[in-house]
Amino acid sequence: MTSSELSSNSGSEPCDEPHITLVPITTALARGGTASTSAPGYDRSTISAGIAHIGVGNFHRVHQGVYLDDLFATRPDQRHWGVVGIGLREHETSQAKAAAYGAQGQDGLYTVTRYTKDGRRTSRIIGSMIEYLYGPADPAAVVTRLTDPSIRIVSLTITEGGYNLDEHSGAFRLDEPAVAADLHREHPETTFGVLTAALAARRAAGIAPFTVMSCDNLRHNGETARVAVLGFARAVDPDLARWIDDHVAFPNSMVDRIAPSVPTRTRAALNAGTGIDDALPALTEDYRQWILQDDFPTGRPAWEDLGVQLRPDVAAFEAVKGRLLNASHMLLAYPAALAGYRWVAEAAADPAIATVLTRFMAADAAPLLQAPAGVSLEHYQQMVVERFANPHLPDTVLRVAHDGAAKLPVFHRATAEGLLSTGGDLRRVALLLASFRQYTSGVDEHDRTFTVEEPHLSDADWSLLRSGDPLRALEASPFAAWRLGGSPTFVSAYLHVVDLLQAQGVHAALQHAISELPSPQPQGGQPHEARSQREPATTRRLHA
């Protein structure tokens, strides 16, 4: 099935698998799987916990969860590294996970369906998560579980914005409301409050600290986690913070696998394909990669047996992935949303969008990167576009666009600053920011509305982005530290793209971004009032 077919199917009777009766996932496990879905190749009762994972989202389930499932099947001596899943957010989706993964539900089991770019499908039951704790129901129980000496690694996928660092200073923000409340709670509820409390309890009991392993898409994600933990710990107990700094390891990592969201219709179609009634099936691509710094004082799974690369140069891989793949994902998302595309694969098949991505990677980002040993940047760029264009992977444009305020500084700021300092072509950066500004209106160029999810934008940011003056958008918190408004060259390029988007539409802006010779651009002194008179009605509504 293509992405649109997989998502639009009603789910009860796919065209190629009619009249399927679904069985509970625990039943499927007991039976050794179904006709189309394999079961774990090990006795799950032999698995014990060694890793706690905070943030059991789709990515963790198709990445680390699958790696561990593979390891348990091939290495019986590694079965003490089972996962305790932990959800800390008081949210409807977190409550659904708690209900599904509990012992009375799916007992931590879930299915993963993998689609190759030629449409081949394989499905399996994953058994590596053996326990699940829902923090809002009992925050003290989470800290108690993390104090258990058997837990030697706590891994994180809490999103780029979950580390709560100030964009200007890089310091941990103690004024964030949930963090400020956590400083005075008996039982903390936020990620870094929980980690600090658990490490304090282990220290008091004479138990060696666990390793904190970030698996989020961040440059120096281990160091970022260290800054966040130490920032909270210093506010609680400076002596504890010094102990953490001296004794707790925070290895850096680079992780990669596309994990689309799974809405109701997609879930029904996946379950019909597996023959299993799974409340939370996961979907992914064939590709996966994991580069990891080998810094685990109390031990780690034998991940190298499964192709995980244990290398000291993680930062170089982080830079390549973040500034080529993740940055291209974001550059695709905002023009695609404005053009009315729903699916990433459909947008990537648009020749203008595909050319913008290839031109951005080859001309803007790659020349500023140093490739790790053994990595071809040219091959990597080709692979990025091919992965985005997989028609059998139903990844939505809005999933990629989500939380741009947190992701754009991570994936685009360094390239933008590099282009400014070297006198490079700023048209693709201008397209990105102008498209993001217009995307926040929630209306595409066909006058259709879509949902904008930007949890890290403040009220002041929204006012700037929706101001009638496009330059005010550059003062919003995600972009203020870039200082783009101080560059006449960028301002000219940006205002020209704003004009193109508003007067001629997305494809005119895309063509401008890839034209061999830049179109004439307005001078910086042109009054905005003169420009605004040319804006179409839909644009004036954006500024209202």
pLDDT in tens, the chain (544 residues): 566 556 554 333 333 445 578 999 999 999 999 999 999 999 999 999 999 999 999 999 999 999 999 999 999 999 999 999 999 988 777 788 888 888 789 999 999 999 998 889 999 999 999 999 999 999 999 999 999 999 999 999 999 889 999 888 999 999 999 999 999 999 999 999 999 999 999 999 999 999 999 999 998 999 999 999 999 999 999 999 999 999 999 999 999 999 999 999 999 999 999 999 999 999 999 999 999 999 999 999 999 999 999 999 999 999 999 999 999 999 999 999 999 999 999 999 999 999 999 999 999 999 999 999 999 999 999 999 999 999 999 999 999 999 999 999 999 999 999 999 999 999 999 999 999 999 999 999 999 999 999 999 999 999 999 999 999 999 999 999 999 999 999 999 999 999 999 999 999 999 999 998 544 454 444 434 334 333 433 333 333 3
Q: Are 127 and 44 in contact (CB under 8 A)?
A: yes
Instruction: Provide the β-strand partners of residue 84.
Output: 52, 131
Alpha helices (H) in 208-326, listed in sequence order: 221-236, 238-247, 264-274, 314-320
Please work out, in degrees rounded to the nearest 5, the angle formed at the alpha carbon of residue 46 by the alpha carbons of 42 and 49. Answer: 115
Q: Are 61 and 259 in contact (CB under 8 A)?
A: yes
Distance between CA 305 and CA 317 in Å, rounded?
20
Residue among 525, 29, 3, 487 at smallest CA distance from 275 = 29
Q: Which residue has the tokens 């282009």?
A: 419
Q: Which residue has the tokens 């561990």?
A: 68
Q: Are 129 and 108 in contact (CB under 8 A)?
A: yes
pLDDT at position 517: 53
Instruction: Provide the β-strand partners of residue 285.
Output: 115
Q: Are 442 and 452 in contact (CB under 8 A)?
A: yes
pLDDT at position 12: 31
Q: Give this prediction's pTM.
A: 0.88
The set of residues, in sequence order, having a beta carbon less than 8 Å from that of 260 and lying 6+ positions away, is 58, 266, 283, 284, 393, 394, 395, 396, 399
From residue 369, alpha-carbon distances to 135, 289, 319, 320, 481 in Å are 41, 19, 7, 7, 21
pLDDT at position 523: 45
